[in-house]
């Protein structure tokens, strides 16, 4: 019998992995913004064209990369953020899988310009469909710029699957909101088709939320605050009278990472019991700080789900903290005749 098993070449493996990491232009936005944050940038610019289908570019003033690191950054499982599996339980970075750049470069045309603080000159690298097509020594600002063009150029089925520009831009804005709300101390800018659509100066959480969500948000916010040995909760809930039909103002961040959690959402809903009209959704911006050893983020490549060691305690603390805040601000229950 003939042998039939073959090792897939790297570029094929990367293209397959890319399927999980990069669903649409918004996934590229998320990965590049997170890399800029991990690079300790204080100013980050996001530039998109045609809802990211033509261009997604992130320009940061972070630590930059040496020429060798720049080359390595496009390899799969290449990361500066962890060294061993144990490090997964003391993560202080957004990234750790070392596969975003490899995945993105496998399915797009990528141009990177990067320069470290101490260096006079930096590096330009072009990678297309996983292959390095150009490397030059260049004079470029300190930090890193990564431009991702023609996403899915070599996977027509994926490219055709992309939705209208309006829908794809909505996804990009959602990712942008999640990232900027988690990092108010970083100055973020966003441009779409040449127009500035966000310029968010560094500030505190309240200022950032108000900047992002718009004018009247400030008066709607009720602070939430709770500190215990296992957990710190800070942030805001929106007064019940401003509840919405949609879930568009619901954000959980765990150690400054946006996450989705039906379980924690339930805890918040439970604190609003009796004070929300039927079918209405409360707004919340809740920041949970926990010991990194007590959570597992490595459940899915997009890292929006977390496994908590002790979710029951978390549930109870969150519920009581939100309830307490609503009570303090004299949020009265809705009486039956009000319905
Ligand atoms: P991960 O973020 O999981 O480490 P990535 O593929 O996103 O994997 O990035 C690979 C490596 O490239 C990072 O670990 C980092 O060292 C480097 N890198 C990526 N983006 C930047 C950036 N904007 N500034 C500095 N270094 C970067
Ligand atoms: Mg990364």
**Model confidence pLDDT, tens digit, residues 114-153:** 999 999 999 999 999 999 999 999 999 999 999 999 999 9
pLDDT of the residue at 334 = 52
pLDDT of the residue at 338 = 42
Which residues of the chain are modeled with pLDDT < 70?
Answer: 330-339
Write the CATH number of the domain with boundaries 216-338. Answer: 3.30.230.10
Give the C-alpha distances (Å, rounded to integers) separating 119 from 39, 59, 114, 115, 308: 16, 18, 10, 7, 42
pLDDT of the residue at 336 = 46
The topology (CATH level 3) of 10-200 is Heat Shock Protein 90 (3.30.565)
What is the rounded CA–CA span in Å between residue 193 and residue 180? Answer: 20
Q: How far is the CA of 303 from the centre of ligand 1 (A)?
A: 16
What is the rounded CA–CA span in Å between residue 104 and residue 117? Answer: 26
pLDDT of the residue at 337 = 45
Pocket of ligand 1 (CB under 6 A): 31, 35-36, 38-39, 60, 62-65, 73, 78-81, 95-102, 144
Question: Can you point out the beta strands (E) in 240-300?
Answer: 250-254, 257-259, 284-290, 295-296
pLDDT of the residue at 10 = 84
**pLDDT tens sequence across 179-216:** 999 999 999 999 999 999 999 999 999 999 999 999 79
pLDDT of the residue at 1 = 83
What is the rounded CA–CA span in Å between residue 118 and residue 138? Answer: 15
Q: Counting atoms of ligand 1 from 1, which one is nearest the CA of 98? A: 8
Residues 332, 241: contact at Cβ < 8 Å? no
Domain locations along the chain? 10-200, 216-338
Q: Residues with Cβ < 8 Å from 171, sequence gap 6 or more?
A: 24, 25, 26
Q: How far is the CA of 150 from the centre of ligand 1 (A)?
A: 21
What is the rounded CA–CA span in Å between residue 122 and residue 139? Answer: 6
Nearest residue (by CA) to ligand 1, atom 14, is 79
The structure tokens listed for 269 are 């809903």
């Amino acid at each position: 019998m003939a042998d039939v098993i073959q090792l897939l070449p790297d570029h094929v493996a990367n293209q397959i992995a890319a399927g999980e990491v990069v669903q649409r232009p918004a996934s590229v936005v998320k990965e590049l913004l997170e890399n800029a944050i991990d690079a300790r940038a204080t100013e980050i610019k996001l530039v998109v064209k045609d809802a990211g289908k033509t261009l997604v570019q992130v320009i940061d003033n972070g630590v930059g990369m040496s020429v060798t690191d720049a080359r390595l950054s496009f390899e799969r499982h290449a990361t500066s953020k962890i060294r061993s599996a144990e490090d997964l339980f003391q993560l202080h970075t957004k990234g750790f899988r070392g596969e975003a750049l490899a995945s993105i470069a496998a399915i797009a045309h990528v141009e990177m310009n990067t320069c470290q603080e101490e260096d006079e000159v930096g590096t330009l690298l072009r990678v297309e469909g996983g292959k390095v097509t150009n490397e030059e020594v260049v004079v470029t600002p300190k930090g890193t710029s990564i431009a991702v063009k023609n996403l899915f150029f070599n996977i027509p089925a994926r490219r055709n699957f992309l939705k209208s520009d309006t829908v794809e831009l909505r996804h990009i804005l959602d990712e942008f909101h999640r990232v900027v709300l988690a990092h108010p101390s970083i100055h973020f800018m966003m441009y779409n088709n040449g127009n500035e659509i966000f310029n968010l100066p560094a500030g505190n959480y309240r200022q950032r939320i108000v900047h992002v969500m718009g004018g009247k948000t400030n008066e709607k916010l009720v602070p939430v605050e709770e500190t215990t040995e296992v957990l710190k909760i800070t942030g805001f809930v929106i007064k019940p009278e401003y509840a919405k039909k949609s879930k568009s103002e619901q954000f959980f961040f765990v150690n400054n990472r946006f996450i989705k959690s039906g379980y924690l959402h339930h805890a918040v809903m439970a604190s609003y019991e009796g004070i929300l009209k039927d079918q209405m959704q409360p707004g919340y911006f809740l920041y949970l700080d926990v010991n990194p050893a007590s959570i597992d983020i490595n459940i899915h490549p997009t890292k929006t789900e977390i496994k908590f060691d002790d979710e029951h305690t978390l549930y109870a603390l969150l519920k009581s903290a939100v309830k307490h805040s609503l009570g303090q601000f004299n949020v009265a229950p809705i009486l039956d005749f009000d319905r």
